[in-house]
């Protein structure tokens, strides 16, 4: 390739890999003037030779670290969701074509970029991911214990507490029916279960401690039904919510708005889109269901009359989703404007 005139560089797209990065850059005329593969450790040295410009990258594991590094150097990084890069991809998929598509997408003025996360946000997000994985593993372990017991002709009623309370009794009373090897296997699985319970409790307590010291979390937790889990998950995911212009945008990102397929002036709305953050959506729906279980407390909330009318005309599950959408909008508004909720906090709706 001929010598590159870096002074005319306008945007650079980075395809981030584990060990190597692929760079493609465009000048103001839209001509490709940079096409290069570099090692991860050569990132800073390479960009020191480039003029300050827009740098696009897909949202991935190390995108926030790369973004913070380039911002300190004076560049304008933009983290772009992969779904918005795909329309710009030309030809077959390879690293250079991906980088070129990212560079073109980064120049779109109306394209929504992902907010750059601080190290504190990444740490908090990691805690939530560890807890989620442990909960999933605990559920799998409990299901495996139940399956092995059923193979021995032993059934236990539903619920985590029922199995925990009856496990030792089952091993003692059914010792003639359970082989020594199966008994050893079940005891080992039960030990795994207890270990995961302890780890989940410790991670949960750490999250709760953070929520008590973070002002944004304290503000969000003034909403009925919202507790340490949702508040810290929100702060970890969106910071102060500056990436969204209104509460509906945040609810749409969480996936709590109807899926739309409208054409010819005809509006067609379906089930919720389920796009965006599945974890936050799950937490908001859980919080809504907690509130729905206690209708005698609804008059204590400013949205109690709305919820009572909605529950009369909607199926219970549909009303819970509508309430989750409302909680998400209110949570964004409080987070963005740094205010507290107008209703008193109720001990019954402690929240998720």
Q: Please tell me the total count of domains within the chain.
A: 3
331: nearest Cα among 203, 223, 185, 184: 223
134 and 227 housed in the same domain: no
Q: How far is the CA of 285 from the CAs of 2, 10, 225, 256, in angstroms?
A: 57, 44, 10, 9
pTM above 0.75, yes or no: yes
Residue 199 CB partners (closer than 8 Å, separation 6+):
134
Instruction: With beta carbons less than 8 A apart as the criterion, state whether 152 and 186 touch.
Output: no
80 and 126 housed in the same domain: no
244 and 293 housed in the same domain: yes
Q: What is the pLDDT of residue 209?
A: 96
Residue 115 domain-assigned?
no
Q: Which of 212, 232, 257 is the last residue of a domain?
A: 212
Instruction: With beta carbons less than 8 A apart as the criterion, state whether 54 and 10 touch.
Output: yes
Q: What is the pLDDT of residue 229?
A: 95
140 and 27 housed in the same domain: no
Range of the domain at 83: 6-105
Strand 269-272 vs strand 258-260: parallel, antiparallel, or unpaired?
A: antiparallel
Distance CA 280, CA 125 (A): 11
Q: Average pLDDT across each block of 10 residues of the chain; the chain has 352 residues. List them in order.
A: 57 93 92 92 93 93 93 94 90 92 92 89 95 96 95 89 92 88 95 97 96 93 93 93 90 90 82 87 94 91 92 92 95 91 53 63
Distance CA 194, CA 142 (A): 10
Q: Which two tokens stand for residue 209?
A: 């401690």
Q: Which of 154, 181, 212 is the last residue of a domain?
A: 212
Residue 186 domain-assigned?
yes
173 and 239 housed in the same domain: no
Q: In what order do the strands lie in the sheet with 11-16?
A: 32-39, 20-26, 11-16, 54-58, 76-80
13: nearest Cα among 53, 62, 51, 65: 53
206 and 233 housed in the same domain: no
Distance CA 232, CA 26 (A): 40
Distance of CA 248 to the CA centre of its chain: 17
Distance CA 284, CA 232 (A): 13
Q: What is the pLDDT of residue 205?
A: 97
Q: What is the pLDDT of residue 7?
A: 62
Residue 293 domain-assigned?
yes
Residue 65 domain-assigned?
yes
Residue 344 domain-assigned?
no
12 and 98 housed in the same domain: yes
163 and 267 housed in the same domain: no
Given CA atoms 316, 322, 324, 327 in this order, what sign does their dihedral have?
Answer: negative
333 and 221 housed in the same domain: yes
Q: What is the pLDDT of residue 346?
A: 46
Instruction: With beta carbons less than 8 A apart as the criterion, state whether 113 and 78 touch.
Output: yes
Q: Which of 184, 212, 240 is the last residue of a domain?
A: 212
């Amino acid at each position: 390739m001929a010598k590159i005139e870096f002074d005319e560089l306008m945007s650079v797209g980075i395809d981030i890999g584990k060990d190597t990065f692929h760079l493609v850059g465009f000048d103001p005329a839209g001509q490709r003037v940079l096409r290069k593969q570099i090692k991860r450790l050569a990132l800073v040295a390479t960009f020191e030779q480039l003029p300050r410009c827009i740098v696009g990258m897909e949202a991935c594991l190390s995108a926030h670290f790369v973004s913070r590094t380039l911002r300190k150097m004076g560049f304008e990084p933009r983290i772009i969701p992969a779904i918005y890069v795909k329309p710009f991809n030309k030809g077959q998929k390879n690293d250079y074509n991906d980088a070129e598509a990212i560079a073109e997408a980064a120049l779109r003025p109306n394209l929504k970029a992902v907010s750059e996360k601080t190290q504190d946000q990444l740490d908090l997000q990691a805690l939530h991911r560890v807890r989620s994985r442990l909960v999933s593993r605990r559920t799998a372990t409990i299901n495996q214990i139940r399956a092995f017991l059923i193979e021995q002709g032993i059934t236990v009623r539903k619920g985590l507490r029922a199995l925990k309370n009856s496990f030792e009794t089952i091993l003692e009373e059914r010792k003639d029916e359970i082989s020594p090897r199966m008994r050893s296997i079940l005891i080992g699985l039960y030990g795994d279960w207890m270990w995961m319970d302890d780890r989940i409790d410790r991670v949960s307590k750490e999250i709760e401690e953070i929520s008590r010291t973070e002002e944004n979390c304290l503000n969000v937790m003034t909403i009925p039904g919202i507790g340490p889990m949702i508040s810290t998950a929100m702060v970890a995911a969106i910071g102060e919510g500056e990436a969204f212009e209104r509460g509906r945008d945040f609810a749409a990102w969480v996936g709590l708005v109807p899926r739309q397929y409208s054409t010819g002036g005809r509006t067609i709305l379906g089930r919720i889109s389920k796009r965006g953050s599945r974890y936050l959506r799950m937490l908001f729906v859980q919080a809504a269901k907690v509130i729905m279980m206690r209708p005698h407390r609804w008059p204590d909330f400013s949205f109690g009359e709305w919820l009572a009318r909605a529950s009369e005309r909607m199926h219970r599950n549909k009303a819970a989703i509508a309430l989750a959408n409302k909680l998400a909008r209110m949570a964004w508004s409080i987070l963005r404007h740094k205010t507290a909720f107008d209703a008193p906090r109720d001990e019954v709706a402690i929240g998720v």
